[in-house]
């Protein structure tokens, strides 16, 4: 190259430094600062921040709502993983292997909720669950199950499970497409060989399709876990705001309430540290459990 | 070959497919229809067709609920955020992908791993940082925060896209005496157009839809983005029961996304699945 070393370094700095500065100021610094805040009692006015050591962490351990929020988050993780993966796998197999003419239509329709705003999804489903006008209750009445109707989002027992359906509804398309990508890469010859050996379609699914799309399944599950732990509070905030009686609070929505509604910024930061630690641990554990030798035939 | 093709097994599989299509389409179509219904009609016939299409709900949302201001704010935040992201991501992606320097891998890993970190923790300090910079309750401040938040994803997609551009072009340009700035601006950027468009569409949808950061970082109604305005109307609706207005504002929020999806369906799908397959 005909450029001097100095010019090269100048160009490198031009490419990297401004971006990295912005990234440091608006991403790295806030994350580390959040860690620092978690050792302070602070209601927002800058002069009144008081160093309290591990008091916020002690408070975290003694807060009765915290175990509930963790439980609710993992309830959503587990139900979403199961619901999305079963349906997405079924749809992916059906659309790739069944030679259905209108498959592109289903692909386009199923994916669309993935790019809808959580606000729109949440409000739409609030109306679907509406006790008097909503589709769920009118549907139940229509088929004669009036005793099953209830104020879904207003019931302490049913509000949290009611949040699963919108999340599955909004998430399926993306994972279906990821699995379809995996399935379309499987060579036809495996199925032909399995056919000759007399394998039923069900056996082909378990012995050929599933092992060969394991990488995609693994990534999908990890992705659902990460996005749920890092983002489930958004739909909670839109649909229930953590209520009724804290029965739908997840870690993120509790953080929001503590920090930005009750102005306990130090304690909010402590909850944030907990979210960070828990989601990192969860991802590491899942990666350990789901490592599985790559299948090659 | 008779494999997987029996008429009956295919029809059997179609039932769940059709049911799920209805489950996806019906609420969306119904929301759009509801936007044209009067309030009385919504109560008497919530799930049917409107008797006549009238736009009074849209007028109400537009004039009485300040949706016009929110649409404007959302457009600014979305456009500015997307431009800022590109301005930051393109040079960095080029350097990370094409230039050898110490710490290259480390820097790349740092950006990419930020995609996995829950940012909630950072939002509390960010709130005070924006306050000190006079950018709190400010749509330009929000646009900056949005742009930085999409940096990791954008760098991830752009670097993998730039890796497919043949090196010989840059070498030839360099021998002809073109400066590295010229190469970046006149060769790499035009050749990355496909990747840039994909990233930009994804970012724009993300910014247009975003709710939670806007909730934290914006406070006064005249700065509300569309997502906040809709949430506000939705909370009001519990008392006013102005469902039609709420639906009209939801339709206003969703129509641009539908249009983008109709035009760029393949790119959006590709961008999102690739963004997810990073592990």
Stretch B240-249: mean pLDDT: 86
Q: Which two tokens stand for residue B217?
A: 């970082």
Within 13 A of A81's CA, how many CA atoms are on the CB side?
19
Give CA–CA dist A86/A79, Å, rounded.
Answer: 11
Assign domain B56-276 to its CATH superfamily: MetI-like (1.10.3720.10)
pLDDT in the model for residue B279? 43
Give CA–CA dist B83/B242, Å, rounded.
Answer: 37
Residues 170-229 of chain A with CB under 8 A from chain B are 172, 174, 177-178, 181, 191, 195, 201, 216, 218-220, 222-223, 226, 229
* For chain B, domain boundaries: 56-276
Would you call A104 an interface residue with chain B, using a CB distance cutoff of 8 Å?
no
Does a cis peptide bond (omega within 30 degrees of 0) precede residue A244? yes
pLDDT over 50 (residue B206): yes
Contact A17, B104 (CB under 8 A): no
pLDDT in the model for residue B6? 58
Give CA–CA dist B105/B144, Å, rounded.
Answer: 26
Average pLDDT of every residue of chain A: 88
How would residue A290 be classed by pLDDT, with cut points 50, 70 and 90?
confident
Residue A143 lies in a domain: yes
For residue B35, what is the enclosing H or E element?
none
Q: Please tell me which of the candidates A35, A120, A252 has its beta carbon nearest to residue B120.
A: A252
How would residue B10 be classed by pLDDT, with cut points 50, 70 and 90?
confident
Burial of B29 (0-12, 13-18, 19+ CB in 10 A): exposed
* CATH number of A113's domain: 1.10.3720.10
Residues 6-25 of chain A with CB under 8 A from chain B are 7-8, 11-12, 14-16, 18-20, 22-23, 25
Residue A96 distance to chain B (closest CA, Å): 11
Subunit contact B21:A106, Cβ cutoff 8 A: yes
Contact A53, A39 (CB under 8 A): yes
Residue A107 lies in a domain: yes
Residue B231: its chain A contacts at CB < 8 A? 119, 123, 238
Q: Count of CB contacts below 8 A, A vs B?
A: 245
Contact B271, B203 (CB under 8 A): no
pLDDT over 50 (residue B3): no
Residues 42-61 of chain A with CB under 8 A from chain B are 44, 46
Q: Please tell me which of the candidates A94, A119, A169 has its beta carbon nearest to residue B23.
A: A169
Residue A138 lies in a domain: yes
Give how many domains chain A has, as a whole number. 1
Contact A114, A227 (CB under 8 A): no
Nearest chain A residue to B218 by CA distance is A260
Subunit contact A220:B279, Cβ cutoff 8 A: no
Subunit contact B181:A260, Cβ cutoff 8 A: no
Q: Which two tokens stand for residue B54?
A: 């009238």
Residue A71 lies in a domain: no
Interface test with B, best of A93, A117, A133 (most B CBs within 10 A): A117
pLDDT in the model for residue B188? 92
Span B42-70, pLDDT tens digits: 777 777 777 777 788 888 888 888 899 99
Span A63-81, pLDDT tens digits: 989 999 999 999 999 999 9
* % chain A with pLDDT above 90: 51
Query: Range of A143's domain?
Result: 76-247
pLDDT over 70 (residue B277): no
């Amino acid at each position: 190259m005909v450029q001097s070393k100095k010019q090269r370094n100048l160009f490198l700095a031009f490419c990297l430094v401004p971006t990295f500065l912005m990234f440091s100021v608006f991403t790295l610094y806030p994350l580390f600062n959040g860690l620092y805040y978690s050792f302070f009692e602070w209601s927002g006015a800058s002069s009144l921040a008081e160093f309290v050591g591990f008091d916020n962490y002690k408070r975290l351990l003694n807060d009765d709502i915290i175990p509930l929020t963790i439980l609710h988050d993992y309830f959503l993780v587990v139900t979403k993983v199961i619901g999305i993966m079963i349906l997405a796998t079924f749809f992916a197999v059906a659309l790739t292997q069944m030679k259905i003419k209108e498959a592109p239509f289903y692909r386009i329709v199923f994916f669309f909720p993935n790019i809808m705003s959580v606000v729109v999804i949440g409000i739409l489903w609030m109306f679907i669950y509406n006790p008097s006008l909503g589709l769920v209750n009118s549907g139940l009445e229509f088929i004669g199950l009036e005793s099953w109707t209830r104020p879904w989002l207003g019931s302490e027992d049913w509000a949290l499970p009611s949040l699963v359906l919108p999340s599955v509804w909004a998430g399926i398309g993306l994972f279906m497409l990821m699995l379809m990508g995996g399935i379309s890469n499987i060579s036809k010859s495996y199925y032909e060989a399995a056919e000759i050996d007399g394998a039923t379609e069900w056996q082909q699914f378990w012995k050929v399709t599933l092992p060969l799309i394991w990488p995609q399944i693994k990534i999908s599950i990890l992705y659902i876990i990460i996005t749920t732990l890092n983002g489930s509070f958004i739909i909670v905030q839109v649909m229930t705001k953590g209520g009724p009686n804290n029965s739908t609070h997840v870690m993120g929505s509790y953080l929001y309430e503590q920090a930005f509604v009750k102005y306990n910024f130090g304690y909010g930061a402590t909850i944030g540290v907990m979210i960070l630690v828990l989601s990192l641990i969860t991802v590491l554990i899942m990666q350990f459990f789901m490592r599985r030798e790559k299948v090659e035939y | 070959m008779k494999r997987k093709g029996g008429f009956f097994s295919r029809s059997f599989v179609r039932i769940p497919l059709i049911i799920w299509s209805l489950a996806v389409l019906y609420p969306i179509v119904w929301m759009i229809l509801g936007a044209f219904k009067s309030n009385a009609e919504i109560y008497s016939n919530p799930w049917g067709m409107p008797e006549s299409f009238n736009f009074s709900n849209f007028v109400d949302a537009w004039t009485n609920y300040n949706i016009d201001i929110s649409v404007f704010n959302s457009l600014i935040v979305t456009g500015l955020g997307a431009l800022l992201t590109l301005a930051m991501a393109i040079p960095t992606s080029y350097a990370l992908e094409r230039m050898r320097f110490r710490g290259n891998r480390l820097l790349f890993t740092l950006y990419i791993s930020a995609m996995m970190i829950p940012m909630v923790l950072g939002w509390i300090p960010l709130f005070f940082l924006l306050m000190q910079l006079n950018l709190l309750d400010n749509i330009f401040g929000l646009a900056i925060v949005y742009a930085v938040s999409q940096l990791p994803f954008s760098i991830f997609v752009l670097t993998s896209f730039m890796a497919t551009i043949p090196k010989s072009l840059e070498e030839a340009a360099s021998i002809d005496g073109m400066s590295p700035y010229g190469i970046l601006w006149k060769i790499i950027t035009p050749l990355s157009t496909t990747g840039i468009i994909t990233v930009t569409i994804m970012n724009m949808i993300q910014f247009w839809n975003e709710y939670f950061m806007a909730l934290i970082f914006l406070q006064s109604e005249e700065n509300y983005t569309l997502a906040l305005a809709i949430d506000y109307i939705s909370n009001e609706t519990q008392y006013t029961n102005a469902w039609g207005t709420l639906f009209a504002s939801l339709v206003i929020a969703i129509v641009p996304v539908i249009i983008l999806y109709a035009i760029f369906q393949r790119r959006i799908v590709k961008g999102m699945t690739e963004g997810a397959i990073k592990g």
